[in-house]
Structure formats: C-alpha cells, structure tokens
Structure 1
Amino acid sequence: MHNDNIQHPASNIQPKLNIYFTSGIPSLEDTGKIAQLIQNSGADMMEIGIPYSDPVADGPVIQQAHSLALKNGMSIKKLFEQLSEIKDSVTIPKILMGYLNPVLQFGFENFCKKCAEVGVSGLIIPDLPPIEFESQYGKILKKYNLNFTFLVTPETSEERIKYLDSLSSGFLYAVSSSSTTGNENAVLKNENYLNRLASLALKNPVFIGFGIKNKSDFENVTEKAQGGIIGTAFVKILLENEDWEIIGRNFIQNIKN
C-alpha cells in the first residue's frame, strides 16, 4: 500500500491539512477547479465526497451539499471523468469519500479500477463493515494499490481502535464524537480521547476530524495528532459565497501559514 508520503511526523514536522469537499458543487463542473484551489492554497491532501441521497453520517451543511450536487447532475461516472482531467495537474493525495450503496451499484472492483486509473490514492467508506472489508473488499483495494481509512470515535474501545488501525492504511480518521459531521457542539479538544489515541502506538498517523473551523482549532487538535480534516467549514464557503475561490484560498492559506 502506498502511503503518499504520509509519515508519522516527529514533533517538529508540520501536521497535515486535509480538506474535504463534496464533488459537483457549487456547480457541476467546479470539482476540478476546487481540487486545484485546495492544492495551490497549500493543503497536503483532499477528500472528495461522492454525493448520496441519504448521507446519514453528515450534518446539515454537507447534507445540503449532497442534495445540491445531485440536483446538479453529479454521479460517480461524472466524477471519474472530472478526476481524469486533473490527474496530472493535481498531485497531492486525493481520497474519495462516500457511502457503500452507490459504490456497490457501480461495482466495487470496477470502482477501484477507475480510482487507480484517475489517480485516487485511497477511499473512505464509513458504512463499510470491517468484517466485510476483511473477507472480501480489502484484497480488491490492495490489488489496485488503494489505501482505506476507517473511522474511530471517543466511544471506540482501545481493542477496536487497534483492530481498525490494523486494517487501515494511509491514516486513521478520528472523529470527535459519534454524532454527525460539522456538529457545533462537538467537543473540539477532547483531551482524554486525544491522549488515549496518542498512547496507543498505532501504525497509521491519526487525523482528527472535529468541527475544525480555523487555525487555532487546527493547532489545538494537531498537538497530539498527525493531521486535521476540515469539511463543513470549507463546504459552507462553497455553498454560501459567490467569490468562494478567493475566500476558500484565504481560508486554507490562513490555516497553513
């Protein structure tokens, strides 16, 4: 499995910034432009969301993005066309995040094959059960050299965190709570949880996806983790601002600099 140079940083190495956005918003053809913007603004990697009609793990902002993208005519087929156009120009790791149902409808192996062709480095499918990953899907991902990331929460037992870490590659995704993404009330700096993760000697770097909204949030959560994931705050910019390119670029640069 290739790790796209995501290493365990020593204390002096910058934490990685991973930006999530939903493909097909604000307009259907903006996907490539946004990917380029994320790279050019200094983010280390990106997660590209595959719109789905029932995004249960997502909060209202990202749900709104999913429904707009579907209304715009976004599909997996369309997304692969868009990714093939930016394959050579957007070279930071691109991870696809989506739900299992549309991927199975597309055909799991066919999906992985296309990911490899268009330069996707890994997948996050929150509702793929680890047991099924072990029994059938893991070997397909390996065949196409794709990383796969599992999610853990403060409620996940240490034994299970270690198990999910052993199955994951690329990074382990630590969410702040078992609620939906972008939850205003998520405890941003759950000290016990972050300390517990840091003490477990995991094989993958830990990336925190917590309601991170700004530079100080990012610095807070990455004191003990190797990276931070920003989704809702960035998607909000895309949904609410006509000049999202300028605002989005400033937002990312401000966190990185």
Structure 2
Amino acid sequence: MNRINHLFNSNKKDLLSIYFCAGHPTLQGTADVLQALEANGVSMVEIGIPFSDPMADGVVIQNAATEALHNGMSLKVLFEQLRNVRRKVKIPLILMGYLNPIMQYGFESFCRKCVECGIDGMIIPDLPFKDYQERYRLIAERYSLRIIMLITPETSNERVREIDEHTDGFIYMVSSASTTGAQQDFDSQKRAYFKKIEEMKLRNPRMVGFGISNKATFKAACEFSTGAIIGSRFVALLDEEKDPEKAIQRLIQGLKE
C-alpha cells in the first residue's frame, strides 16, 4: 500500500506535515532535514522543488527557492540526494513543485525516479485538474504515485466533488486564495469554509495548508480536517537556526504554547 494511504488509514488525527525547500539553507542538507523531521514526530513531508517563479508562494518560500537555486539545487541533484533516503526515513514523502521543471525533466522519467527514490506522491500547484485527468493521471497511477490536488475557498462544490472522485491519497485544502505565509489565526470566513468542506463528507481525507504557524491556526485546521501542513514558518526557522533539529523543535514547541 502507498505510504500516504497507509498513514490516513491509521485513523490518526492532528497529523503534522512539513514543507521545506530542497537545497535551502544548504545544498546537501536534504537527508538531514528529513531525518530530523521524522525523529521529532512529523507524520509526512513535502519536499519542495525550487523554481524561479513560484507563483503560489509568499516571500519566505520564494527567498528559500532563490537561495536553493543559487546553491545548485536541481531535480537531478535532488533525486541523487534521495536515492538512499529510504534506508533511514519511513514516513510518506511528497515532492512539491511547479509543472515547468517537471516537464523539462519529462513526466514519466520524473515518475520513474520518484519510485526509485521511494517518493509516494506529488503536489503540482499549477497543474490544471483537466490536464491532470487527460495527460498525467494514468501515468502516475501506473507508478502507484498519488497526485494531490489543491482546493481553495474559490473552488466550486462541483469541482471539489470531482477532485474527490478522481484522486487518491488526500486533498490539500488551501486556507485562502492568497499565497503561502504564516498567520496568527483564522477568521470566521475561513473557519466556515473548513466546516463547509467537512460537511460535504468527502471520500478523501483533507489536510489544511497555507497560513499555519502557531497553536491557534494548527488547532483550527485540525478541527475540520485530519491535520495541517506547515511550510513558511518551518522554512523561516530553518533559515534562522541552520539546524533542522533545532528548527523543528522550536516549531513543535510553538504549536503547544
């Protein structure tokens, strides 16, 4: 069974998934970050593929991606770093990146490399659902990879149900229609959106991302979903500490206070 499905079939709640950008703050730190996250109880990790025009990301992740590219990170380098990572890391791993570098690599070659490295799925924020259905779904399924689709407060109920019907793993529920970045709390409008999606009784579990950085936002996200995804806050802490162990411990402490 795919590790993503296995995780969500375990009936655990309040899952914590962490995003970081490969190649930031150092080129060679990918495996160290993954091991530190698993050792500190993180349930799943999204490994960001740096791109020069990350349209869905706020300034923290944009800066991390720029630094990673300057450090020499590329898909070729990343796959080399991930080649033996499954000897030590057991939790689900997802590659998150924009379509352009993946297409330059070749989608089927990308899927093949994912399987070789033990990657369980991918998130491609700028992949239209129609294109996913027509061009990419069957290839990904051939390799038992999960393509995770995003929904936002602007996504129609009809499209939400369509995504739920034709994807597997989980649904990435974006907390707002804006870019990534830490927030102090979620307003009533966002909470109403979370509740509306919960009441749709979807087949797939949901993880909430964008804007989660502290106890209040983490608790609100988990109230209406299986768990939360934290990116910008961890990337900022990693930038400050230069040590993944210290960064994740500070983050987890912040979720408790």
**Structure 1 match to 2:36:** 37
Q: In the alignment, residue 217 of structure 2 is paired with which amino acid? A: D
Per residue, is there more helix in 1 or in 2?
2
Check conservation: 1:38, 1:249, Cα contact below 8 A. Answer: no
Q: Report the equivalent of 2:133.
A: 134
The runs of 4+ residues in structure 1 deviating greater than 6 Å are none
Question: Match for 1:7: what amino acid?
Answer: F
Helix, strand or coil at the partner of 2:88:
coil
Query: Which residue of structure 1 lines up, in the alignment, with residue 17 of structure 2?
Result: 18
Q: Say whether the 8 Å CA contact 1:172–1:204 is kept in structure 2.
A: yes
Could you say which residue in structure 1 is the equivalent of 2:221? 221
Report how far residue 87 of structure 1 moved.
Answer: 1.8
Q: What corresponds to 2:105 in structure 1? A: 106
Secondary structure of the corresponding residue to residue 229 of structure 2: strand
Instruction: Report what 1:5 is aligned to.
Output: 6
Q: How many residues align?
A: 255
In terms of mean alpha carbon deviation, does 123-132 or 246-255 score higher?
A: 246-255
Q: Counterpart amino acid of 1:153?
A: T
Contact 2:185 2:216 in 1 (8 A): no
Distance in 2 between residues matched to 1:244 and 1:117, nearest whole Å: 25
The CA deviation string for residues 163-217 of structure 1, in whole angstroms up to 9 with x for no partner, is: 1222322110011111101164884662210111101111111100031112332
| Counterpart AA for 2:49 | I
Aligned ranges 1:98-247 → 2 under 5 Å:
98-182=97-181, 184=183, 187=186, 190-247=190-247
Query: Percent identity of the aligned residues?
Result: 45
Determine if contact 1:206/1:225 at 8 Å carries over to the other structure. yes
Counterparts of 1:97 and 1:186, CA distance in 2? 25
Q: Is the Cα–Cα contact under 8 Å of residues 28 and 73 in structure 1 kept in the other structure?
A: yes
Would the alpha carbon gap of residues 186 and 138 (structure 1) be closer, same or farther in structure 2, given more than 3 Å must change?
farther
For residues 203-244 of structure 1, the C-alpha deviation after alignment (integer angstroms, 9 at most, x for no partner) is: 111100031112332112111111100000000011222445
Q: Is the 8 A contact 1:8 1:205 kept in 2?
A: no
Secondary structure of the residue that 2:8 maps to in structure 1? coil
Cα distance 1:97–1:186, how it changes in 2: closer, same or farther (>3 A)?
Answer: farther
Shift of the alpha carbon at 1:155?
1.2
Q: 2:93 aligned with 1:94, yes or no?
A: yes
Counterpart of 2:7, as a letter, is I
- The residue that corresponds to 2:45 in the other structure is 46
Question: How far did 1:51 drift?
Answer: 0.3
The answer on whether the counterparts of 2:182 and 2:212 sit within 8 Å (CA) in structure 1 is no
| TM norm structure 1 | 0.93
Task: Give the TM-score taking structure 2 as reference length.
Answer: 0.93
State the AA in 2 paired with 1:182. Answer: G
Q: Are 2:59 and 1:60 aligned?
A: yes
Stretches of structure 1 lacking an aligned partner (at least 5 in a row): none
d(CA) in 1 for partners of 2:16 and 2:140? Answer: 24
Q: Does 1:251 align with 2:251?
A: yes
Q: Distance in 1 between matches of 2:80 and 2:242?
A: 25
Q: 1:143-178: CA deviations, max 9, x gaps?
A: 110011111111111111111222322110011111
For the residue of structure 2 that corresponds to 1:29, the secondary structure is coil
